[in-house]
Homo-oligomer: A and B are copies of this chain.
Amino acid sequence: MEKLIDFQTDPSLYRHWRVEYDGDIANLFMDVDENAGLFDGYQLKLNSYDLGVDIELADVVQRMRFEHPEVKVVVLRSAKDKVFCAGANIRMLGGAAHSHKVNFCKFTNETRNAFEAAEVDSGQKYIAAVKGACAGGGYELALACNYIMLTDDSSSSVALPEVPLLAVLPGTGGLTRVTDKRKVRRDLADIFCSTEEGVKGKRAVKWKLVDEAVPNAKFDETVRARAAEFAAGSPKSPVATGITLGPLKKSINEDGSLQYSLLEIAVERDARRATLTISGPTDAAPLSMSDFEAQGDQAYLLRLARELDDAILHLRLNEPQLGLLVFRTQGDPELVLSHEAVLLSNADHWLANEVLKYWKRVLKRIDVTSRSLVALLEHGSCFAGVLAELLFSVDRSYMMEDEFEGDNRHLATLTLSDANFGIFPMGNNLTRLQTRFFGTPESVDAARAHVGEGLEAETADDLGLVTMILDDIDWEDEIRIFMEERASFSPDAMTGMEANLRFAGPETMETRIFGRLTAWQNWIFNRSNAVGSEGALQRYGTGLRGKYNMERV
């Protein structure tokens, strides 16, 4: 799978999804084109999906929020007869490299989280209207919706057959959502997850696997009624029109480096490193949200979020050898704050809310990116407000102290804003500063007392906001040594270490999905019982069951 994967798409390019808008209700049809897989070697039968299908779905969910803010209820259904969705395509999984499987699951998890949170964040409630077989990743799609309706007939069921059939886990949140979201009793969950054929109708309701089972003859009508009811009861204020998300300006060079409009990515393959340099805004901030709306997708903070989001996904899937992502900024910190201020002071405006919630998702995507992350706070940088939040996402940050010879850029500063104290929670539901200062909330308060100040190195260090401050004499050597050393470590150990150190404190369903569930799945994705030549994933479809080493670990 050496093909460059592009995460940008738009409705005119969709092969697998279709949306019909009907006032405040959107009908989203899954209609996978079996001949339009992202890679060769498999057909996407029975509404099974691969990364390409999910890239379109993520695009649908994103556009729903920005382009169709009038929508209050999204009804997800299948356009195929007899099948809702058969889950991730098994032949694709069987043929995919370990790293592709893991990153595929991560992206699909992020997309599920994005539409699961749409009700709370954006007032868009997702209903899964399930007719026909709904298995594995198909049921996990439904699980991530806010309400599940199931046709009560002999051919419709929900199932998580991964364990008995494929010797892997339902890896897109299934196990976690069954116990923690749906609150299915653990022994019933045990039966459910080890029963290939799944559970139908009234039993599915009784076990809490679905919210409602409706006779076939009344299904469509009941779904319509439920959608109308939820739309009518929605607290979301009416919004007339959205903004358009146009194509990103982006070019990729032969050496792997990328240019976006506000983000430049230098790739050094020998050093296994990508350096992401963010440019601060150059124009004055919009004066109001109507100004912001007029700028639309060209408004600085929205444009930057989209570029950064795309860049992270590109690096994850297309550049697995780059183990270190270095974040830099250059620009005017005050100007960053003024661009942010119009959003913060209008947070109840639909578009301000969407942009801020989008930044929340982008920052979370960075948190769970399994590359070593470092930020360099150089002279001339603009780590302020939401951009300062990057400093608390990374594994380490280095800051320039005092003047550097021959460097006439403004002294490096770090500027906090109110944005660093609540609106961008991590997956663990703490802010990044609360996580950083886990157990010492007084350190968070101390930092907060400096909101709006351009903190120079010594103060930033005293407040514990940066990892290390270095002067002209030490800067280059220290950073070079760190980067060389980091590039020499085992990538697997780094992934495991970072996944443990980044999320101190409480866990949530989200961190459990990315931590506990994902880690076990990754383990199983390395075991011959699943992926070996006689393993269940490889043998699927051959009529032979997997041949297992029966030792328990």
Contact = CB atoms under 8 A, between A and B. Distances in A.
A446 to B, nearest CB: 14
A530 B519 CA distance: 16
Given A467-B188, A553-B98, A546 B516 contact: no
Interface in A465-503: 467, 485-502
Given A194-B486, A497-B163, A520-B519, A492 B553 contact: yes
Given A320-B551, A527-B526, A185 B464 contact: yes
A428 to B, nearest CB: 10
A489 B185 contact: no
A77 interface: no
A5 to B, nearest CB: 15
Contacts of A501: 175, 178-179, 186, 189-190, 193
A437 interface: yes
A241 interface: no
Contacts of A167: 489-490, 492-493
Interface string A489-533: 111111111111110111100001001110111111011011000
Interface residues of A, number: 90
Nearest to A183: B439
Contact of A193 (B440, B464, B497): B497
A552 B489 contact: no
A120 interface: no
A179 B500 contact: yes
B102 A553 contact: yes
Interface centre among A169, A437, A467, A553 (most CB of B within 10 A): A553
Interface string A120-137: 000000000000000000
A440 B191 CA distance: 20
B436 A527 contact: no
A323 interface: yes
Interface string A529-553: 1100000100000000110111111
A495 B553 contact: yes
Contact of A395 (B179, B187, B491): B187
Contacts of A147: none
A329 B529 CA distance: 34
A520 B504 contact: no
Nearest to A523: B523
Contact of A552 (B491, B515, B521): B491
A396 interface: yes
Contacts of A493: 162-163, 166-169, 524, 529-530
Contacts of A519: 515-516, 519-520, 522-523
Given A180-B505, A492-B167, A512-B507, A322 B500 contact: no
Given A439-B183, A523-B519, A523-B522, A497 B169 contact: yes
Interface string A72-111: 0000000000000000000000000011001100000000
A473 to B, nearest CB: 20
A438 interface: yes
B530 A183 contact: no
16 contacts: A163-B490, A167-B489, A169-B496, A169-B497, A185-B437, A187-B397, A190-B497, A190-B498, A191-B467, A272-B550, A487-B550, A490-B546, A507-B512, A515-B519, A522-B553, A523-B523
Given A167-B493, A187-B394, A491-B552, 6 more contacts: A185-B437, A186-B436, A190-B497, A491-B551, A507-B512, A507-B516
Interface of A: 98-99, 102-103, 162-164, 166-169, 175-176, 178-180, 183, 185-191, 193-194, 272, 320-323, 370-371, 394-397, 435-440, 464, 467, 485-502, 504-507, 512, 515-517, 519-524, 526-527, 529-530, 536, 545-546, 548-553
